[in-house]
Amino acid sequence: MSTPHIVLKEEARMLGATQVMIGLIHCALGQLWTYLYVNHYDFFSSVYLPLVFLSGYPFWSCIIFIISGIFTIEVEKHPSRSLLMYTVWMNLSSFIATIIGIFLILFEIIYFLAKQVKEQWPHQSGILLTTQLWIFSILEMFLTSKVTKWGKKVFYTGNKHL
């Protein structure tokens, strides 16, 4: 027996799981950045400013994305008005974190490309890691906006289910 609410509930759970996975991917990319930066500090110190890594974006965004994903999953399992409100707030926080991250990433890439220096493989690896962070940040931005839209709609209509 399929109703629109059941389909929407399953989508909310899947979106929450996707948010958790994106958070874990950000953490893994941050670990790779740490390894790259520590082992090749000489290459980065003079030419490439890894602003995204130095700001800690992969790590603090990881925590925010995972928490917002967990809230999204939990509100589907145990629907309550207060949990829904927390879910909307966490997804708004996640959305703001993605906007900050996207601007940091764009600034880093533009700053590096404007220098027009000869790229070495650590620089190319850094740009690749930063670009992957950018792609997953954009995906997270779309997911959080969708969950926030659904949550606000449910919260203001008085419905008990996502």
Contact status, residue 112 vs residue 49, Cβ threshold 8 Å = yes
Residue with tokens 């700001």: 55
Confidence of residue 1 (pLDDT cuts 50, 70, 90): very low
pLDDT tens readout for residues 14-53:
999 999 999 999 999 999 888 887 877 766 666 677 788 8
Contact status, residue 83 vs residue 74, Cβ threshold 8 Å = yes
Rounded Cα distance between 105 and 113, Å, is 12
pLDDT over 70 percentage in the chain: 83
Query: pLDDT at position 150, please?
Result: 83
Of residues 23 and 127, more confidence is placed in 23
pLDDT tens readout for residues 39-95:
777 666 666 777 888 899 999 999 999 999 999 999 888 888 888 889 899 999 999
